[in-house]
Amino acid sequence: MIKIYHNPRCTKSREGLQILEKSGQDFEIVKYLEDIPSEKELRKILNCLDIRPEQLIRKNETVWKENYKGKLLSDDELIEIMLEHPKLIERPIVIKNNKAIIGRPPENIKSIL
């Protein structure tokens, strides 16, 4: 099953969702700002993406700039920050089996389908 971590207010996320809809494949939508992933789930996402937590953070968000920018933070601390402020999680994220992709640009999603 394909899963998309989606923010309906984000243009790139909406474009990614359209790509999935056009693919004709079944998928599940996770509105991660409402249904915040657990720590275990976030770690699994990072593992599927094969990236470090810092690479999943949206560093242009105000909450990041005002509270965390320039600080030396561990991977565990970064995960906690994303769980506390899910808006910092890059989007959209599409997972299929044990592989994941960040849909920036949204066309990247086609590579996982």
Could you list the active site residues? Answer: 10
In angstroms, rounded to a whole number, what is the distance separating the alpha carbons of residues 84 and 77? 10
Contacts of 31 (CB under 8 A, 6+ apart): 6, 7, 8
Beta-bridge partners for 6: 31
- What does 24-42 look like in DSSP terms, one character per residue? T--EEEEETTTSPPPHHHH
- In single-letter form, the type of residue at position 31 comes to K
